[in-house]
Structure 1
Amino acid sequence: MPTTKGTEGGEVAMPRTGPADSLVDVAGVRVGQVQRRGDGWRTGVTVVLFPPDGAVAGVEVSGGAPCTHETDLLDPRNLVERVHAISLSGGSVFGLAATAGVTGWLADHGHGLVAGPDRTERIPLVPGASIFDLGRGGRFRAAPDAAMGARACEEATDGPVAQGSVGAGTGAVAGGLAGGVGTASAITPAGFTVAALAVVNASGSPVDPGTGELYGARYGLPGAFAGLRRPRSAEPAAVTTGYRRVPRSTTLAVLATDARLDRGRCGRLATAAHDGMARTLRPVHTLTDGDAAFAASLGEREPDFAAFQDLLAVAGDVFVRAALGGLLRAEGWPGVPSYRDAYPSAFPE
């Protein structure tokens, strides 16, 4: 594992990326995505599926305008210990309908709590959240439905995860630039994997208005963003942030780890995703954002105190890399440029 010099001159182990550098580096996680563009549509669904018996999970909601489903399930004071999927979608309150499709698909495929008089039925538990992307394709009510949620489950795989203007990030916008879906992972010095999937759709901006640089680029692992340059001063200033004028945002995150955590510690891991949001976007957690982060544990090895501290420290920067993965791969559309469109000189020729 790579090392760096500590503050007192000793060698400190550095995290490294997982094999796929994505959420599926945590064994048992699958990701499915569907989207629709054209004819008034620009939206989609991203679903994170867990094994049939579920995963321990927590949540932290810090935005002032959340759009969520069944997040109270994840409160450590409440009954259930495990959930079976997490549904992320566009469509604001209308898009929460996608969770019904995810729930039905899981029940049909044997995922969920055992129920029914003969113990043959299943009740899947599916927390979820939606971003505000209404009208970005032209039709205000063009939002994901249950059928789209079920199709996202059909597409779920533990293979490569598409990034950019896909899934729940299809119509995402961040500070006037095209947002999107991104993912990343890291392995901590103690050997635990922590991974993140981000849907970046923010009132605040990911771009330093003084330089045109992405705020989060300084938080990558060595070499992660080596290809990015400071944009030329002749290029336009950062697209103006919309947090004062456009009440329609929300950045979402799903973190997963193979460390064995209870719901309380999963909630603490979800908080680390919000730390990453603050490194990526300014301002963040405004009254017009519905920022929410979920965290899931799928492991059997319990970290000691120091290893858990490392897990939290690494998780925030993993979210940053996931968020920038989405932003750097996003595709612009008329009136909404991508970062590459707005700052072409930031990229090698």
Structure 2
Amino acid sequence: MAEALWGGKALPLGLGVGHFTDLEARTGCTVVLAAEGAVAAADVRGAAPGTRETDLLRPENTVERVQAVVLTGGSAFGLAAAEGVVRYLAERGRGFPTPGGVVPIVPAAVLYDLGRGRLHRPPGAEAGYQAALAVGEEVGEGGVGAGTGAVAGGVKGGVGLAGYLLEEGFRVAALAAVNSLGRPFDPRTGRLYAEGLLAVEEKALLPDLSRYQGREEDHRFPYLPGQNTTLGVVATDAPLSKAQARRLAIMAQDGIARAIRPAHTPLDGDLVFALALGDGRGVDPMALLRLGAYAADALARAIARAVLLAEGFLGVPSYRELVAG
């Protein structure tokens, strides 16, 4: 059996996570920093994505390693946050070597949170730079970074982190920024869809549902249509090839479908990045199978943690507030 790990603790994978949070504008960005480089891939399942430099992550393309990944609010405006992370890395000589100097490779993906704060101030280059500077020992969760203005199926969304230590000794972790059209909980019972995957200590975060008034589920979802996305980063210390990292991202997408219903809709931009910190030589198919299975579980847990730890704001209740009655 794999051991459940993390949940807010620093990632022991050679990666760092930093947030920039703007409460006035109700937006922000999150940087996953792999300054020494990580084999990277991506998988897009939502029909409304906003991305930067994801084409180079295809297995057939030349560049294998990235130095960071950015998840950001601000819709298309927020892609500018990646420029600040590029500057941060360039100042430290990290990037793809070229005759003219290193070029940091920083893919990014956005979620829609415009109009949820008092100001229109999408994350820009300075926000990305500050998020990179903020990389530290602990990983903030809930309504921080890219999750600052996130809304998940009518309750407050946010950022969550979870992971596993596998029997083989490999570790896999998932970071989620949850801003979904679909609900993370069953409206008939109030229970989180991913509740069964939570570790024992995480179940202590679950609210009392004794006063919850259940209702029949429908699929009209009138809340914020066209303003949705769930973003994920799954990372491992296994030495995956670029093609295997792509398979890890594909399998991890199942975690979104386990934790949010419906997922991968015409109105979401759901996307998962995969990062592998090993030397890229590859692992055997059974090891990859187990990594992918636990990556999906980790992403589902991360989504649940994001919703459990987020606090509501004006007009948007937290999940705990909604179901507690």
Q: Please give the range of the TM-score, normalised by the shorter of the 2 chains.
A: over 0.9
**What is residue 29 of structure 1 aligned with on the other side?**
15
**What is residue 60 of structure 1 aligned with on the other side?**
43
Partners in 1 of 2:38 and 2:235 — Cα distance?
10
- Tell me the TM-score normalised to structure 2 length: 0.93
SS in 2 for 1:77: coil
* 1:114 alignment partner, one of 78, 90, 97: 97
**What is residue 198 of structure 2 aligned with on the other side?**
220
Partners in 1 of 2:253 and 2:221 — Cα distance?
18
Find out whether 1:284 has 2:263 as its counterpart. Answer: yes
Are 2:8 and 2:141, in contact at CA under 8 Å, matched by a contact in 1?
no
Are 2:252 and 2:293, in contact at CA under 8 Å, matched by a contact in 1?
no
Cα offset, 1:109, TM superposition: 1.3
Deviations 1:261-288 (A, max 9, x none): 1111111111122100000001111111
Are 1:212 and 1:238, in contact at CA under 8 Å, matched by a contact in 2?
no
SS in 2 for 1:96: helix
1:239/1:130 CA distance change after superposition, 3 Å: farther
Partners in 1 of 2:211 and 2:291 — Cα distance?
38
Structure 1 runs of 4+ with >6 Å offset: 238-242
Cα offset, 1:308, TM superposition: 1.7
**What is residue 186 of structure 2 aligned with on the other side?**
208
Find out whether 1:17 has 2:1 as its counterpart. Answer: no
1:70/1:212 CA distance change after superposition, 3 Å: same
Are 2:41 and 2:274, in contact at CA under 8 Å, matched by a contact in 1?
yes
Counterpart amino acid of residue 169 in structure 2: G
Find out whether 1:89 has 2:72 as its counterpart. Answer: yes
Partners in 2 of 1:100 and 1:229 — Cα distance?
40
SS in 1 for 2:203: coil
**What is residue 309 of structure 1 aligned with on the other side?**
289
- Tell me the TM-score normalised to structure 1 length: 0.87
**What is residue 7 of structure 1 aligned with on the other side?**
none
Deviations 1:15-60 (A, max 9, x none): 1023x4458434210111011112xx100010001033x1101100
* 2:56 alignment partner, one of 60, 63, 73: 73
Are 1:22 and 1:196, in contact at CA under 8 Å, matched by a contact in 2?
no
Cα offset, 1:305, TM superposition: 2.4
Are 1:26 and 1:256, in contact at CA under 8 Å, matched by a contact in 2?
no
SS in 1 for 2:317: coil
Matches within 5 A, 1:95-174: 95-117=78-100, 121-139=101-119, 141-157=120-136, 159-174=137-152
Counterpart amino acid of residue 281 in structure 1: I
Partners in 2 of 1:83 and 1:184 — Cα distance?
22
Deviations 1:167-196 (A, max 9, x none): 000000000000000001101121110001
**What is residue 51 of structure 1 aligned with on the other side?**
35
Structure 1 vs Structure 2: percent identity of aligned residues?
45
Matches within 5 A, 1:252-267: 252-267=231-246
Number of residue-to-residue matches in the alignment: 323
Counterpart amino acid of residue 102 in structure 1: V
Partners in 1 of 2:178 and 2:230 — Cα distance?
5
Counterpart amino acid of residue 124 in structure 2: D
Cα offset, 1:333, TM superposition: 0.8
Partners in 2 of 1:181 and 1:37 — Cα distance?
15
Structure whose alpha-carbon radius of gyration is higher: 1
Are 2:190 and 2:212, in contact at CA under 8 Å, matched by a contact in 1?
no
Q: Which runs of 5+ in 2 are unaligned?
A: none
Q: Mean alpha-carbon deviation: is it higher for 234-243 or for 147-156?
A: 234-243
Cα offset, 1:62, TM superposition: 0.3
**What is residue 321 of structure 2 aligned with on the other side?**
341
1:303/1:266 CA distance change after superposition, 3 Å: same
Deviations 1:300-330 (A, max 9, x none): 4853322221111111111111111111110
Partners in 2 of 1:23 and 1:195 — Cα distance?
11
Cα offset, 1:79, TM superposition: 1.1
Are 2:207 and 2:324, in contact at CA under 8 Å, matched by a contact in 1?
no
Are 2:177 and 2:306, in contact at CA under 8 Å, matched by a contact in 1?
yes
Are 2:188 and 2:214, in contact at CA under 8 Å, matched by a contact in 1?
no
